[in-house]
Amino acid sequence: MPAVEDIIIVRDMVKKFGKFTANDHLTFSVRKGEIFGFLGANGAGKTTALRILCGLSYPTSGEIKIAGYNVYKDREKIKKTIGYMSQKFSLYENLTIAENIKFYAGIYGLRRKVIDARTSELLDKLGISSIRNRLIRDIPLGWKQKLAFSVAVFHNPSIVFLDEPTGGVDPITRRQFWEMINESAEQGITVFVTTHYMDEAEYCHRVSIMVDGRIAALDTPGKLKESFNSKDMNGVFLTLARSKRMNAV
Amino acid sequence: MKRFLGFVKKEFYHIIRDYRTLVILIGIPVAQILIFGFVVSNEIRNTKISILDNSHDEITKKITNKIISSGYFDLHSYLNSYDDIETAFRKGNIKEVIIFESGFSSRLTREGEASIRIIADASDANTGRLITNYTQGIIMNFLKDLVPPGIEIPFTIDSRPRMYFNQDLKGVYMFVPGTMAMILILICALMTSISITRENELGTMEALLVSPLKPVHIILGKVTPYVLLSFIDGLIILLLGYFVFGLPFHGSLALLLSEMTLYVILSLSLGIFISTVAQSQPVAMIMSMLMLMLPTLLLSGFIFPIENMPLLLQGLSMIMPARWFIIILKNIMLMGTGILFVWKETLILLGMTLFFMILSIKRFKVRLE
């Protein structure tokens, strides 16, 4: 029985590419305001699932509800209530910081005054007000990453989808990034994040681990470590991956 | 030395295993030579002509036969009056009209002098001149055959060539329409295809697709600046042609601008189509160049006349949008014709536009999956 606060409900989601099954009957729910980690190795099917939830592709079959909307019928409504940050950060290199913000905010229907006010607020918070007119290609990777996230949540979506957002940045920057995620979650935004860095799982409320297209485990990090008798999430994953391989053999 | 050889070996592996490199190394030179060899020809073959024979006597028939059996000319039709000449040219089926004055034979035998008028369609300046030269040459030969060699020819046939549509054989009459066709298709197709593939590469396309923006808005938004730019470019070329080179403008401006807009939209559809096929920006660029610019340059009739090409290339030239656009431009500007004479070409452009638009939309949707 789905709880009232479930903002993402997925039941028996299947995605096939020809004969290859990328997502094999996934079933899970994400609660409102939680940070949900969608973990798995490269090629496990995380990005495929995320793309379906975002409305970038259609599932082969399955029941999916995002913020109460049906993913088959109410795509337009879903698009207005979600935010997205791609692996490549989705910012335009030859636009300035301010121009990027204005562009995306405009697409989500924010009014000019609101955009201006929020932009100033955001830039102050990130400490980059002085370079608001600098081109994106001229700012360091870590700043780009934080900015990309801020842009993704600028319009206060109910859910934000992050696709491997911490690739290529140093551990300190990653840590700071997760602090931003925490902040957003505290303000009520549900965060759905895919990653293959197992240590980031510790920062999530709950995580699911995908192996070969299926969800092999789903629980809080603490409980997972307990049941797999491991001191960290890395260990949990290795155990899962090994058992799968042994079953296959 | 061994290290060096090891490296060279690796390079050979790269080349052989990447079929694209092989295509470039071998395929393209072969294609180029073949195409250039067949396309670049300053000869004329099977040029369609009409004859207005006001005499219908033995000598005019002999001259006519000689012209038609030369291999250079094909008889398209006999005209009945001077009024038919203009229409015949405008229809675009013939390149030359030969007019025999009445009482030709008797004038030639009695007075030793008769006249033939040659009117050539010189909207293509080079072929215009060639055609009249060849015709005059055949007439000259006919005269020579009438008398034994060595004896002075007692007859003269005064053949005055007249260049229709392009009195002074100005090359610019050919050059400006062709340039416009090529530049427009280049800008539109190249720029849109690059713009869209760049968006894909950067990862920003995904962010756009997740947003409330509809794919149709995205495409239109990408395309609109280029429509405006291309339109301005087209106008600039026209203005320069008119004011600097004295290009005539006999037809309707409104019609010309409408046809230009249609052509621009077609080129943009091509660009979008290329973007749904190309995986990256460099690929998009090369596809645009190879598929559009080069064939347009060679096969659209811009520089090398289509009629002189072998049938295979003539067929190929039919799918070049530029070919039809150049015909439309020349018709409107040089001949001053209205939609009645260019409706066929317009319809072809329209059909191509619809085809590529529908194809692109379909592919774009599939790409989303």
pLDDT band at A244 (very low <50, low <70, confident <90, very high): low
List beta partners, residue A162: A85, A193
List beta partners, residue A63: A11
CA–CA distance, B223 with B269 (Å, rounded to integer): 9
Closest CA to A11 of A21, A2, A22, A3: A2
Who's near B155: CB < 8 A, 6+ residues apart?
B108, B112, B113, B114, B143, B146
Q: What is the pLDDT of residue A185?
A: 93
The highest-confidence range among A151-160, A232-241, B240-249, by mean pLDDT, is A151-160
Predicted confidence (pLDDT) per residue in B62-73, tens digit = 999 999 998 889
C-alpha distances in Å from residue B2, one per residue of B15, B144, B284: 20, 75, 40
User: Residue B343: how many CB atoms within 10 A of its CB?
Assistant: 12
- Report CA Rg, chain B: 26
Residue B246, burial from CB neighbour count under 10 angstroms (0-12, 13-18, 19+) = exposed
User: In the β-sheet with B96-100, what is the strand arrangement from edge to edge?
Assistant: B73-78, B47-53, B96-100, B113-121, B156-164
Average pLDDT over residues A202-210: 92
Who's near B326: CB < 8 A, 6+ residues apart?
B177, B178, B181, B300, B301, B302
Residue B277's φ and ψ, nearest 5 degrees, are: -105, -35
Helix/strand number for chain B, H first, E second: 17, 5
For the packed helices B125-146 and B172-185, what is the interaxial angle rounded to 10 degrees? 140
In angstroms, the separation between the Cα of residue A53 and the nearest Cα of chain B is 10
pLDDT band at A179 (very low <50, low <70, confident <90, very high): very high
Residue A193 scores a pLDDT above 90: yes
Query: How do the domains of chain B map onto residue ranges?
Result: 47-164, 172-368
Residue A1 scores a pLDDT above 60: no
Average pLDDT over residues A55-70: 91
pLDDT band at B28 (very low <50, low <70, confident <90, very high): confident
CA dihedral B259, B262, B264, B269 (to 10 degrees): -160
Q: Which residues of A touch B210 (CB under 8 A)?
A: 54-56, 79, 82, 84, 161
CA dihedral B342, B344, B347, B348 (to 10 degrees): -110
Instruction: Provide long-range contacts, Cβ within 8 A and 24+ apart, for B334-339.
Output: B334/B123, B334/B165, B334/B166, B334/B173, B334/B248, B334/B250, B335/B89, B335/B90, B335/B123, B335/B165, B335/B250, B335/B251, B336/B250, B336/B251, B337/B90, B337/B251, B338/B251, B338/B252, B338/B255, B339/B255
DSSP alpha helices (H): ranges in B92-171?
A: 104-111, 125-146
Q: Which residues of B touch A82 (CB under 8 A)?
A: 210
User: Mean pLDDT over all residues of chain B?
Assistant: 84
CA–CA distance, A126 with B70 (Å, rounded to integer): 84
Cβ pair B202:A56 closer than 8 A: no
Q: Please state, for a pLDDT cut of 90, what percent of chain A lies above it.
A: 59
Residue found by looking up tokens 């060639």 in the block? B130
Residue A69 scores a pLDDT above 60: yes
Residue B366 sits at the chain A interface (C-beta within 8 Å): no
Cβ pair A107:B213 closer than 8 A: yes
ipTM of the complex: 0.85
CA–CA distance, B124 with B304 (Å, rounded to integer): 10
**DSSP structure class, residue B276:** H
Of A75-84, B16-25, B191-200, which range is least confident?
A: B16-25
Cβ pair B210:A104 closer than 8 A: no
Cβ pair B206:A104 closer than 8 A: no
Q: Please state, for a pLDDT cut of 70, what percent of chain A lies above it.
A: 96
CA–CA distance, B267 with B186 (Å, rounded to integer): 8
Q: Please state, for a pLDDT cut of 90, what percent of chain B lies above it.
A: 11
Residue A47 sits at the chain B interface (C-beta within 8 Å): no
Q: The tokens of B222 are what?
A: 């990408």
Q: What is the pLDDT of residue A246?
A: 56
CA–CA distance, B75 with B284 (Å, rounded to integer): 46
Question: What's the CATH number of domain B47-164, 3.40.50.720, 3.40.1710.10, 3.40.50.40, 3.40.50.300?
Answer: 3.40.1710.10
Average pLDDT over residues A215-242: 89
pLDDT band at A112 (very low <50, low <70, confident <90, very high): very high
Residue A1 within a domain: no
Residue B118 scores a pLDDT above 50: yes
Of B11-15, B92-96, B124-128, which range is least confident?
A: B124-128
Predicted confidence (pLDDT) per residue in B230-264, tens digit = 889 888 988 888 888 888 888 888 899 999 999 99
Predicted confidence (pLDDT) per residue in B263-275, tens digit = 999 999 988 888 8
pLDDT band at B284 (very low <50, low <70, confident <90, very high): confident
In angstroms, the separation between the Cα of residue A88 and the nearest Cα of chain B is 6
Q: What is the pLDDT of residue B353?
A: 92
Report the CATH number at residue A122.
3.40.50.300
Closest CA to A52 of A40, A66, A31, A32: A66
- Report CA Rg, chain A: 19
Asked whether the beta carbons of B273 and B190 are under 8 A apart, the reply is no
Cβ pair B368:A93 closer than 8 A: no
**DSSP structure class, residue B180:** H
Q: With a CB-CB cutoff of 8 Å, which residues 134-153 of chain A face chain B?
A: none
Of A181-195, B4-18, B301-315, which range is least confident?
A: B301-315
Cβ pair A84:B207 closer than 8 A: yes
Domain interval for residue A151: 6-248
Domains in chain A, number: 1
Residue A106 within a domain: yes
Q: With a CB-CB cutoff of 8 Å, which residues 207-226 of chain B face chain A?
A: 207-213
Q: Which of A52, A81, A88 to mutate to test the interface with B (most CBs of B within 10 A)?
A: A88
Closest CA to B177 of B93, B245, B97: B245
User: Mean pLDDT over all residues of chain A?
Assistant: 89
Q: The tokens of B274 are what?
A: 């290329």
CA–CA distance, B333 with B256 (Å, rounded to integer): 8
C-alpha B140: how far from its chain's center?
A: 32
Q: What is the pLDDT of residue A249?
A: 45
